[in-house]
Structure 1
Amino acid sequence: MASKNKYYVVWNGVNPGIYETWNECQLQIKGFKGAAYKGFETREEAERAYSEGYATGRNASLKGTAPRQIPQELSDAVAVDASCLGNPGKMEYRGVWVADGSPIFKAGPFEDGTNNIGEFLAIVHALAWMEQQGVRFTICSDSRNAILWIKQKKCKTKLERTGRNDKVFELIARAERWLATHAITVPIVKWETKLWGEIPADFGRK
């Protein structure tokens, strides 16, 4: 789900104001306790929301759609999701910022995979990316199975090898090795779709 936000209002941050890129916005909110911000599609919407203040402006809708009531503590989290066309089928996964859906990483498609495997690999990819970058953010996934597998440090899939999915099993083995040699130091949270809408990393193929 690509982000359409072009302007970002920071009501409470290092330097409150309106910013034109997510990177600029992040500089104002990362590590800032009580940061308050939101993305908008047009400058007009952003200016109106900024002038109205956080209490009113945060509830401004985009194109008439109701805003998600995402918990504040997840505003700078990373969301991951997978897509699989068939079971097994072509599988891919990605990670994005919860705040505006801007991409962090994407992998695939891979032949003869499953959605649960993709969800598992996406979480491990996010963990490894954070270690490489020296950052720590909450990870959100809408897959209970994947979160459980991460806790068990094992991808408990029943998928059979077909020859076409050798790459999938190679990625699983690599992910399991990573989990076996690294401590998980960030929260991994179940995304509550009924409360917050589709996870921002969703591929929109349901």
Structure 2
Amino acid sequence: MAKKVTHYVVWKGLKPGIYENWNDCEKQVKGFPEAKYKGFPSKIAAQRAFEMGYEAYKSLSKEEEVLFHVDENTPKPIFPSLAVDAAWNSVTLEMEYQGVDCQTGEQVFHQGPFPDATNNVGEFLAIVHGLALLKTKDSEIPIYTDSLTAISWVRAKQARTKLKRTERNKILFELIQRAEKWLRENAWKNPLLKWETQYWGEIPADFGRK
């Protein structure tokens, strides 16, 4: 969901500046040739954008713009914690997953690649792998994932995948069955949390292949 606009920046208009409502902003840009303006969700973000100038702001990458909006009111990730993620190759249909320490970026585990797989299956297996590993260490730290689907599958204790069995993914289905069995037979206290990419950038376990 998009953040509510609370302030408007006018870089080029009748009177450049920061305005707290659309009516005041509109007065500065309506009918003004090639007016440059934009709405922002906080005063701090608006001030940063105004100070850096229109051209500099427009040159920000998508990732930089995400972090640009972070302020003191933005929720922050919990540390220590474990981040998990999966990567799926749409050409080879291979999937791999990993777990990473959110604080240090150190890889905690990695599995794959697995042929004839899906990303959702990888996200599911990554969470269960993380839960099982943390249980052996008596650790109740949170696990972050950017997949709400995977979280719902774990809570249901079942991988609700439509993936078809093939000769190449027998091992993968064995892992799925093992994961489901572990979920049925074990309890855990680790919070399963959604990684808020819009605030924090890519999840630390991201494979960086987008």
Q: Pick the aligned partner of 2:151 from 147, 150, 155.
A: 147
Report the alpha carbon displacement of residue 99 of structure 1 after superposing the two structures with TM. Answer: 1.0
Q: What are the superposed Cα offsets for residues 107-163 of structure 1, whole Å, 9 maximum, x if unpaired? A: 111111100000000000000001111212100000010000011010000000111
Q: Return the offset for 1:195.
A: 1.1
Structure 1 counterpart of 2:168: 164
Structure 1, gaps ≥5 residues long: 1-64
Deviations 1:48-85 (A, max 9, x none): xxxxxxxxxxxxxxxxx769778555121100000010
Structure exhibiting the larger radius of gyration computed from Cα positions = 2
Structure 1 counterpart of 2:78, from 74, 92, 101: 74
4+ residue runs over 2 A deviation:
65-73
Comparing 119-128 with 129-138, greater Cα deviation is found at 129-138
TM-score (norm 2): 0.63
TM-superposition CA deviations, 1:2-39 (whole Å, max 9, x none): xxxxxxxxxxxxxxxxxxxxxxxxxxxxxxxxxxxxxx
1:72–1:113 CA distance, 2 compared to 1 (3 A): same
Aligned residue in 2 for 1:115: 119
2:37 alignment counterpart:
none
Deviation of 1:104 after TM superposition, in Å, equals 0.6
Alignment-mate amino acid for residue 131 of structure 1: K
What is the CA-CA distance between 1:169 and the residue it aligns to? 0.3
Equivalent runs, 1:99-110 vs 2, <5 Å? 99-110=103-114
Provide closer, same or farther for how the CA distance between residues 140 and 80 of structure 1 changes in structure 2, counting only shifts above 3 A.
same
AA aligned to 1:150 is: V
Contact 1:88 1:114 (8 Å CA) reproduced: no
For structure 2, list consecutive stretches of 5 or more residues without a partner in the other structure.
1-63
Q: TM-score, normalised by structure 1?
A: 0.65
Aligned AA (1:101): G
2:135–2:188 CA contact under 8 A, matched in 1: no
Q: Matched residues, percent identical?
A: 49
